[in-house]
Structure formats: C-alpha cells, structure tokens
Structure 1
Amino acid sequence: MTITAAVPGVQTPACTAAGAAPKPTSAPPPAARSLFRHVHIENLAAGLSGGVISTLVLHPLDLVKIRFAVSDGLELRPKYNGILHCLSTIWKHEGLRGLYQGVTPNMWGAGASWGLYFFFYNAIKAYKTEDKLESLGATEHLVSAAEAGAMTLCITNPIWVTKTRLVLQYEAGVDPSKRQYKGMIDALIKIYKCEGIRGLYKGFVPGLFGTSHGALQFMAYEELKSKYNKRGNRPSDSKLSTLEYITMAALSKIFAVSATYPYQVVRARLQDQHNRYSGLVDVIHRTWRKEGIHGFYKGIVPNVIRVTPACCITFVVYEKVSRLLLGFKNGN
C-alpha cells in the first residue's frame, strides 16, 4: 500500500480494491461572487428601446418644458402664454422641424440613459439579492437605483448638455444663419473647444441630486409591484398585464416628479447658453430672489404631461422586450 501525503486543497486518492481507479468525490469549487455574472445585455437593449420610442413620441413636450424652465425674463426669449400657445407658435414659425429641435441628442440621451439605467440597476439588484431568500426592501431598492443613476449620469451628461443647447436655439428654425450649433456632434465639438470638459459636464452636480428622482421612482415602482403581487398571493416577480404596468409606472413617476422637480430647473439653467451663472448656489440664489418658489417649478405641467406617458411607454416596452429577449435566450 502506498502512502501519500495530504496536500491542502488536493483530493487524496482513497485505497481501492484490486487497484480500481478512484472515483472523484469532490464538487467543483463555487464560482467567485461577481457583479458581472448578473449583467444581462437584454436589459440594456430593452431599456434603450423604451427610451427611444417614448422620446420620438413626446419630444415636443420636452422642448416646451425646457423653454419654460429657463424662462427668466431675458428679452431674447420668446414669450409663451401656455403649453398650447408655445406648441402652436413654434409650429407656425418653425414647422415640425422646430418642434423636434434637439431630438437627436434627446434620443441618444434617453435611449442610453434608460438602457444603462436598467442595465446597471438590474445587475446591482441581482448582486445584492444573491444568496438571500427574501427580496430587497424599499431602502435597498432606493440605494440600488441611486447607484445606477450616478453611474449612468457619468456617461450621459454631455449628451444632455447638447440637447439643452439645441432646444434653446430659438430662431434656428426661422433663420438657419442664427443656428449656433448644426447638430449633436457639432455641439459636442464646439462646447468642448470653447468650454472644455467642464462645459460638457455643466449641470452634473444637480444631475447627481437628480438621481434621487430615478431612485424614488424605481423604489416606488418595485414596491407597488411587490405589494400588488403580495395582495394577489402571487410571486413578487410575476408577470403583470400591460394596463397594470402602465398604472404602476404612472403612479411611481408622478410621485418622483413631484418630489424632485426643482433640480431640473436648476440643471437646465446651468446648461443654458444665453445666461451665465457662477455655479449651483448662484442659480438657486438668483432664481429664489427674482422668481420665488414658483421659479423652481416652471415647466412642471408640460413635464408631468410628457414624462408620465413617456414613463409608461418606456416601462411597458422595457418589460415586453426584456421578456421577449430573455425568452429567446432561454429557448422558450
């Protein structure tokens, strides 16, 4: 009989009758716990699809919201009496092209933001629920969504700056010679040349505060779905009907907008090429001094009218496309 020294981490062969080969008895070591194991490209594709489709449908209302948000009394700005007057005025003077100024960076921004947001959020959420029997609570959903939002903003902020600049080219549709930027790429290049990397990241700090918007929205969405399924004695990840998804998305979006809208006004004003502020505090101080609390909620009506259906479209498209893609992947 041969005696072998035991080596840590190595299976020592047992003595077997008639020299028979030993049978392996150890299971393969568990895979290392990694965030990348929870990354699914389907979430990115589904979120991108939802963001692009909702933007194409509702961009004119986004344009109106931004123009109202930066309306601070400067003489160069057109005066609008309301949403319909703004839309009809732009249509009359600039046509359909005027209503869709800035749509290219908006599609890129919304598509990338929603795609990356769902991509990061689902990976973070899956990572945190690994080895846990119960689903995440409200606070964990909030933190996961905030982390995903911050990661997304680091990538997409330059796109949002170009969108704001293009949307605020007031007379570009009437007189092309007054167009400061020809398009998204031209805007990115000119902003970088004239203002450097700092120009491309204007509004980043209030944007970080704005991640609370997405965090509150996703927390509310997840909690509503969970409570609804629990009430119906169904698993927390049960598939809902289109109408149920729309209801959950709308309620969560209205809640988030109501709680966080002022940051959007502050960010739009920082990114505005027609006015100059020394920073975040200066925007807040001047807005409060000249316009009061009302100034921080300018544009909220067109924003709610736009983002609620936009959110519903995005979430429904996301849920349907992600299930379709995952079904293909799993061979179902």
Structure 2
Amino acid sequence: MQQSSKASKGGSGMRSIFAGVRYEHLLAGVAGGVSSTLILHPLDLLKVRFAVPDTGRVPTNGLTAAVQRPHYNGLSDATVAIWKTEGIKGFYKGVTPNLWGAGTSWGLYFLFYNMVKGQYQDGQKNQQLGPGKHMIAAAEAGVITLLVTNPIWVVKTRLCLQYDTVGPSSSNVNNSKRYTGMMDAFAKTYKYEGIRGLYKGLVPGLFGVSHGALQFMAYEELKVAYNAHLNRPPNTRLTTSEYLACAALSKLFAAVTTYPYQVLRARMQDQHANYSNLRACIRYTYRFDGVKGFYAGLKPYLLHVIPNICLVFLIYENFVPRED
C-alpha cells in the first residue's frame, strides 16, 4: 500500500508539472524560429565566418588538414566575395540544420520556460514573478534546450565554414571534414569524432545560457515596467511596435553582455581547428587577437539577431492567446 501510495504521489507530481502546459507555446516558438531563420540566415553565416580566425592561427593535429580561409575586409567585402566564389547558395550554407535548430530551440525554450514559470506561479497565471525567478526559469529552459540541440548547432557551424575554391589547399581538406549536407555532416562527425564531436562547444554554450536568461528577464521586466508606466495591468497585451521595442532592447542588452561565448563556441565547433579544451581556445584567441578577438563578428551578429528576435517574439506573442 505504501508503494502504491508513493507511486501515486510520483504520478501526480509528474501530472502537476505538465498539467498547465500549453503546447501552443511550442508551436509559436517553432513558427517564430523557423520564419526568422529562413529570412536572416545569410547574416548568421557571416557572423560565423567572422567569428573564426584566419588560416595559420588555429591549432590543428595530424588528422585535420589546414584550409585556406578567405580573408574579408568587412561586411561588404565578405558579401561580394561569397557572391563571386559561391553564388547565392553560398549565403545559405548550413540553412537546413539552422532551420531545424532554430525551430527546435525556440519551440522547446518557450515550452520549458513557460512550464518552469508556471511552477513558480503555482497555478496563479496573473502572479508577477521578479527578475530573479524570470532569470532562473529562462536558465533552466536554456540548459535543457541546449542539451537537446547542441549536435544540430555543431553541424550548422561546420556547414557554414565549408568554403568553395578559396585556395590551393582547400582541395586537400581531409574527406572526413567535407560534407555534402546535414545528414552527411551528422554521420561523419559521429563516425570520426564520436558523441564528443557532436557536443563540441557545449561548455561555452552552457555559459551562453546566461544570454537567454538575461534576455528573457529583461524582456519580461520591460513589458511589466512599460504597462506600469501607463497605469495598465501587468499582463496587458502590447501593440506590435511595443513588442518590437521590448524584444530589440532586451536582445541588445543580452547580446553585448554575453557575446564572447558565441565566438568561443564557433571556434570550438570549427572542423578546421582542434582546441584541446575551452581554456586553450580562450588562450589562443587572446594570444592572436587580444580582447577584440572575443567580439569578432559582433556587427553581423547584431544585424542578424535584432530583427531575428523581433520576428520571433512578435510571432510568438501574437500566436499564443492571452489568459484572463
């Protein structure tokens, strides 16, 4: 009887976690993530390429042949160079895993975030949480989402860093580092590097959870503060321009605060480099590029993520119906 009682309590506990789940949060996140990624992927590709160092400044081993990377003198030069050497398809390298990753990440993030937030609210949907609990809820959702999606981001980064005819050494790149598409990249990464290869960049990614936590905390607090300023109830629906302003400001705050993790993650996921660990990656970055190296690619990143997050949050806020 005691065992059945415990089982009953355990079952009711699991049911209570999922009782208030609204799966439109998942669908809204997927819709927002996929839509924004499809439109803005070229800027994401530019960010990744600017984030990694030029040839000769990365550690390699005997299994990794050096590739002659193209050198870009700014965004306009990079755009012209990619167009000339790779054509329009060059701007969409890695778009398939990016779509999968963005849709999955935003869908799961919004789902888990609202599940955790609902637990803190204890069923009181109109109860306002403080900045601390908003950050904790966002951080918990971020960790779970990252553990699920990190292999997708590895593949996306590697496809973005696959160059066409940029130098005589490019044809000598080990076949294990040349990919014909998303599934081929998954298969080769697992075959030659194992599960560890699919989870490269996980540690800086976990540090990057603070990015989402800061962003969601700022977004929630901006909405509440704006409604309070207008003497309106805290859960009052905002206008499109108000949502866009809150999303842009919260993303800008989080991006500038935490950007170095993006550089470190991209460099550790780079198939043309072989950093032994995060500390080595930090050391190499600082040695060759100084402090500014940790902000490589910031400009295309901001050009990408500000409209990206505005689209995601706008679609999300208008997709999910409000609760009274």
**Same fold at TM > 0.5:** yes
More moved, 173-182 vs 33-42: 173-182
Structure 2 partner of 1:59: 41
Aligned: 1:91 with 2:83: yes
For 1:257, the aligned partner's letter is A
| Distance in 2 between residues matched to 1:302 and 1:309, nearest whole Å | 12
Per-residue deviation at 1:72? 3.7
Residue correspondences, number:
296
Q: How does 1:196-235 map to 2 (within 5 A)?
A: 196-235=194-233
The partner residue of 2:92 within 72, 78, 100 is 100
For 1:231, the aligned partner's letter is H
Deviations 1:299-330 (A, max 9, x none): 0010001100000011001111122xx79xx9
The partner residue of 2:305 within 307, 314, 319 is 307
Structure 2 partner of 1:270: 268
Structure 2 partner of 1:36: 18
For 1:269, the aligned partner's letter is R
Q: How does 1:247-258 map to 2 (within 5 A)?
A: 247-258=245-256
Per-residue deviation at 1:173? 10
For 1:69, the aligned partner's letter is A
| Distance in 2 between residues matched to 1:176 and 1:100, nearest whole Å | 21
Aligned: 1:126 with 2:118: yes
The partner residue of 2:30 within 39, 48, 51 is 48
For 2:184, the aligned partner's letter is D
Closer, same or farther: CA 159–173 of 1 in aligned 2, 3 Å = farther
Displacement over 3 Å in runs of 4+: 72-75, 131-134, 172-179
| Distance in 1 between residues matched to 2:38 and 2:83, nearest whole Å | 17
| Distance in 1 between residues matched to 2:22 and 2:171, nearest whole Å | 44
Does structure 1 conserve the Cα–Cα contact (< 8 Å) formed by 2:97 and 2:155? yes
| Distance in 2 between residues matched to 1:173 and 1:290, nearest whole Å | 22
TM normalised by structure 2 equals 0.87
Structure 2 partner of 1:14: none
Structure of larger gyration radius = 1
For 2:135, the aligned partner's letter is L
More moved, 169-178 vs 279-288: 169-178
Per-residue deviation at 1:236? 1.4
Does structure 2 conserve the Cα–Cα contact (< 8 Å) formed by 1:94 and 1:173? no
Per-residue deviation at 1:73? 4.2
Q: Which has the higher contact order (CA 8 A, sep 6+)?
A: 2
Return 5+ residue gaps in structure 2 as ranges.
1-11, 57-66
Structure 1 partner of 2:7: none
The partner residue of 2:147 within 142, 147, 154 is 154
Return 5+ residue gaps in structure 1 as ranges.
1-30
Deviations 1:141-187 (A, max 9, x none): 00100000000001000000000110000117999997811111111
| Distance in 2 between residues matched to 1:177 and 1:269, nearest whole Å | 21
| Distance in 2 between residues matched to 1:227 and 1:238, nearest whole Å | 11
The SS at the match of 1:34 is helix
Structure 1 partner of 2:64: none
| Distance in 1 between residues matched to 2:21 and 2:143, nearest whole Å | 17
Closer, same or farther: CA 288–177 of 1 in aligned 2, 3 Å = closer
Structure 2 partner of 1:296: 294
| Distance in 2 between residues matched to 1:237 and 1:182, nearest whole Å | 48
The SS at the match of 1:239 is coil
| Distance in 2 between residues matched to 1:95 and 1:123, nearest whole Å | 44
The partner residue of 2:240 within 237, 242, 262 is 242
TM normalised by structure 1 equals 0.85
More moved, 168-177 vs 69-78: 168-177
Closer, same or farther: CA 240–281 of 1 in aligned 2, 3 Å = same
More moved, 301-310 vs 68-77: 68-77
For 2:109, the aligned partner's letter is Y
| Distance in 2 between residues matched to 1:110 and 1:158, nearest whole Å | 12
Structure 1 partner of 2:101: 109
Q: CA RMSD of the aligned region, Å?
A: 2.2
